[in-house]
Amino acid sequence: MTLTTEDQARQLRILLADRLEATGHLPDPEWRRAFEAVPRHAFVPKFWTLVDGHMRQITAGDPEWLETAYQDSALATQLTDGVATSSSTAPSLMLDMLHALDVADGMRVLEIATGTGYNAALLAERLGSGNVVTVEVDPDLAWLAEVRLHTCGYAPTVLAGDGRAGQAGAPFDRLIATCGFSRVPRAWLGQVRPGGVIVCPVGWGIVRLIVSGDGATEGRFLPTGSYFMAVRDAGATGTATHPGRPNGAEQRLVTLDLGAVAGDERFRFLISLVAPNISLSTERDETGVFTAVELWAADGSWARVEHGTAWQAGPRRLWDVVETAHEVYEQHGRPGRERFGMTVTPDIQEVWLDSPDGPCWVLSS
Ligand SMILES: C[S@@+](CC[C@H](N)C(=O)[O-])C[C@H]1O[C@@H](n2cnc3c(N)ncnc32)[C@H](O)[C@@H]1O
């Protein structure tokens, strides 16, 4: 007997759910039920994956489409000038964030960054469509997501707009964002009721904040890494284009080993906090040893380090910032993300290590 596409998809979904449960990403039976019910493939009829360093397009009907849709991978679903501007997040990361959101029946959730609509479908399956509002900056994507949600039997409120601004219908019990931020948008503090939870990517990590009625909203980072595409304005890509090598860069000798920066994923998280909104690339020789690190940002800041020398230009001396942060990192035993926390008030946002009294870094936008 030949299986229908829907039967095959269901089998693949159960296999993926088994794997995600075995690896600790699906501990809650309610989320498992929702995960098994929502057809991810229906939200990703076309996507791109990286094959041998090149983006390869896969569409519904291609032999590998269904199997790839049910792998634990992020799938780029929109490219703008070669840059991914929308995607479906890797299921394990999505489930870690949903678990951290700590929802209960009847709660109302605001999702920022609808993308494909898949995560909104999971929320709608778990809480009921009437309890979910989702916002997407790209009106075409918002429309497509709404159509696909309806096709699958879900009807959350899908809004086209800038998720940083907040939405009518507040206060919500929970807010979850699935694009990257350097700070928590100030408007969100009024979007979630006191005691409610915000789960938001900040830098290359994810913070879980408990909203306070009047004092400081505070919380800790999840242990998991995250490299979400940056929040953007409508029509923009949100990604800084590489500036090329600027003229007149300052030059100095460096003491910090490149591998300590480029090869240490935990330290990269701290870099994303102290040097917000940067892009980072690395080069290695044929034996795998790091030979160069380059950092750049949309404000024109640029640094390149190779052969024991740092060249820096632009308003921020990015390599200086990295070296200073590395000293703190070493002094405190190379902390992982879970040792960091964050305090948000209407006036200031700080990330701290171990406790609000520990070493801290003020987050700039
Ligand atoms: C990783 S995707 C979201 C994944 C999505 N939750 C899903 O399940 O498919 C990031 C999305 O954030 C959207 N985005 C970027 N900036 C935004 C903003 N200011 N407001 C709302 N959405 C935004 C992008 O257009 C993109 O679709």
Q: Are residues 172 and 291 in the same domain?
A: no
CA distances 7 to 10, 12, 39, Å, are 5, 9, 11
Question: What does pTM read for this prediction?
Answer: 0.95
Establish whether residue 162 lines the binding site of ligand 1, counting it when its CB lies within 6 angstroms of any ligand atom: yes
Residue nearest to atom 15 of ligand 1 (CA): 231
The pLDDT confidence band at residue 90, using thresholds 50, 70 and 90, is very high
In a domain, 267, yes or no: no
The pLDDT confidence band at residue 51, using thresholds 50, 70 and 90, is confident
Residue-wise pLDDT tens digits, 106-131: 999 999 999 999 999 999 999 999 99
| Residues 325 and 353 sit within 8 Å (Cβ to Cβ) | no
Establish whether residue 138 lines the binding site of ligand 1, counting it when its CB lies within 6 angstroms of any ligand atom: yes
Residue nearest to atom 4 of ligand 1 (CA): 115
The pLDDT confidence band at residue 172, using thresholds 50, 70 and 90, is very high
Q: Are residues 285 and 202 in the same domain?
A: no
In a domain, 159, yes or no: yes
Establish whether residue 160 lines the binding site of ligand 1, counting it when its CB lies within 6 angstroms of any ligand atom: no
Task: For residue 79, report the distance from its CA to the centre of ligand 1, in Å.
Answer: 13
Shortest CA distance to 15 belongs to which of 89, 80, 77, 91?
91
pLDDT at 269 over 70: yes
| Residues 117 and 92 sit within 8 Å (Cβ to Cβ) | no
| Residues 143 and 136 sit within 8 Å (Cβ to Cβ) | no
Establish whether residue 269 lines the binding site of ligand 1, counting it when its CB lies within 6 angstroms of any ligand atom: no
Q: Are residues 10 and 130 in the same domain?
A: yes
In a domain, 44, yes or no: yes
3-class secondary structure, 215: coil
In a domain, 268, yes or no: no
DSSP category for residue 165: G
Q: Is 345 exposed, middle or buried (0-12, 13-18, 19+ CB in 10 A)?
A: middle
Q: How many domains does the chain have?
A: 2
The pLDDT confidence band at residue 258, using thresholds 50, 70 and 90, is confident
Residue environment code for 120-143, b if the CB has 16+ CB neighbours within 10 A, otherwise e: bbbbbbbbbbebbbbbbbbeebbe
3-class secondary structure, 265: helix
Question: Which of 92, 101, 119, 137 has most ligand 1 atoms within 8 Å of CB, for mutation?
Answer: 137
Neighbours of 105 (CB within 10 A): 9
Q: Are residues 198 and 291 in the same domain?
A: no
Q: Are residues 94 and 196 in the same domain?
A: yes
Q: Are residues 172 and 254 in the same domain?
A: no
In a domain, 349, yes or no: no
Q: Are residues 254 and 209 in the same domain?
A: no
Question: Which of 73, 79, 114 has most ligand 1 atoms within 8 Å of CB, for mutation?
Answer: 114
Q: What number does the ligand 1 atom closest to the CA of 119 have?
A: 8
Q: Which residue has the tokens 């209960």?
A: 104
Average per-residue pLDDT for the chain: 93
Rg (CA), the chain: 21
In sequence order, what are the residues at sequence separation of 6 or more whose Cβ sits closer than 8 angstroms to the Cβ of residue 93? 74, 224, 226
Q: Residue 365 has what pLDDT? A: 65
Establish whether residue 218 lines the binding site of ligand 1, counting it when its CB lies within 6 angstroms of any ligand atom: no
Shortest CA distance to 87 belongs to which of 54, 117, 120?
117
Establish whether residue 163 lines the binding site of ligand 1, counting it when its CB lies within 6 angstroms of any ligand atom: yes
Shortest CA distance to 180 belongs to which of 226, 134, 211, 137?
226
Establish whether residue 13 lines the binding site of ligand 1, counting it when its CB lies within 6 angstroms of any ligand atom: no
Establish whether residue 293 lines the binding site of ligand 1, counting it when its CB lies within 6 angstroms of any ligand atom: no
Amino acid residing at 195? G
Task: For residue 228, report the distance from its CA to the centre of ligand 1, in Å.
Answer: 9
In a domain, 281, yes or no: yes
List active site positions: 86
Neighbours of 338 (CB within 10 A): 12
Range of the domain at 54: 5-221
Q: Residue 361 has what pLDDT? A: 92
Q: What number does the ligand 1 atom closest to the CA of 145 have?
A: 9
The pLDDT confidence band at residue 167, using thresholds 50, 70 and 90, is confident
Residue nearest to atom 13 of ligand 1 (CA): 113
Look up residue 33 and give its two tokens. 């039920």
Residue nearest to atom 3 of ligand 1 (CA): 115
Q: Are residues 10 and 145 in the same domain?
A: yes
Please provide the distance, in angstroms rounded to a whole number, between the alpha carbons at the two ends of the chain: 58
